[in-house]
């Protein structure tokens, strides 16, 4: 038998096994589980990977995102806070932490987190949009407080305009 034919036969025999071999990259494995509808397995893969190598900021961020998507806000927040402690220049982590803070009504904290995110990455469109949303809510709060202290027609008009903007989002 020709040596090339033997090599070709070995390659063809190995190809299906290679195609089905799982990726050694935990992030790839987790994403495959996640998008395959196996979210719990995805989180487990990344949890183990992060425990084994906590310096992988991308793994930690993705794990936090997955927990946030599954409704584990406390788990996501804890992961994001630790990620920011270890990697203070991680703009996406600041943005996602701000989303959690804003959802709880912690607008000042969300504003600080988003200001840091856009300072780190001015081209981060989602952080810019989220910052605008938080600033709108902060403006509403300030106008409502001013209106409560000294009612004025022009303040009520501003409040109404901001409420209309908020509803339009």
Domains in the chain with CATH codes? 27-126 (1.25.40.10)
Report which of 82, 80, 131, 124 is spatially closest to residue 110, judged by C-alpha positions.
131
pLDDT mean over 8-25: 49
Q: DSSP state, 150?
A: S
Whole-prediction pTM: 0.80
pLDDT of amino acid 45: 97
Over 60: is that where the pLDDT of 44 sits? yes
Relative orientation angle of helices 39-52 and 57-69, to the nearest 10 degrees: 150
pLDDT of amino acid 22: 55
Over 80: is that where the pLDDT of 19 sits? no
Do residues 48 and 40 lie in contact, with contact meaning Cβ atoms separated by under 8 Å?
Answer: no
Over 90: is that where the pLDDT of 155 sits? no
Over 80: is that where the pLDDT of 103 sits? yes
CA distance 53 to 47: 10
Q: 115 or 8, which is more confident?
A: 115
Lowest-pLDDT choice from 21-25, 57-61, 111-115: 21-25
Q: What is the pLDDT of residues 118-143, one digit of tens each?
A: 999 999 999 999 999 999 999 999 99
pLDDT mean over 39-68: 97
Q: 23 or 57, which is more confident?
A: 57
pLDDT mean over 64-80: 97
Q: 18 or 98, which is more confident?
A: 98
Do residues 93 and 74 lie in contact, with contact meaning Cβ atoms separated by under 8 Å?
Answer: no
Q: How confident is the model at residue 23 (pLDDT cuts 50, 70, 90)?
A: low
pLDDT of amino acid 10: 41
CA distance 2 to 78: 61
């Amino acid at each position: 038998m020709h040596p090339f034919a033997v090599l070709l036969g070995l390659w063809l025999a190995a190809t299906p096994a290679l195609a089905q071999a799982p990726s050694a990259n935990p992030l790839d494995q987790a994403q495959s589980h996640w998008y395959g509808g196996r979210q719990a397995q995805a989180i487990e893969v990344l949890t183990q990977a992060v425990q084994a190598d906590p310096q992988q900021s991308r793994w930690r961020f993705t794990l936090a995102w997955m927990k946030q998507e599954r409704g584990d806000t406390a788990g996501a927040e804890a992961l994001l806070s630790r990620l920011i402690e270890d990697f203070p220049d991680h703009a996406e982590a600041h943005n996602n932490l701000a989303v959690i803070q804003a959802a709880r009504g912690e607008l000042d904290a969300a504003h600080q987190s988003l200001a840091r995110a856009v300072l780190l990455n001015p081209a981060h469109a989602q952080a810019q949009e989220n910052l605008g949303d938080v600033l709108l809510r902060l403006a509403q709060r300030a106008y409502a407080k001013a209106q409560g202290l000294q009612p004025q027609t022009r303040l009520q008009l501003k409040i109404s305009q901001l409420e209309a903007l908020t509803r339009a989002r």
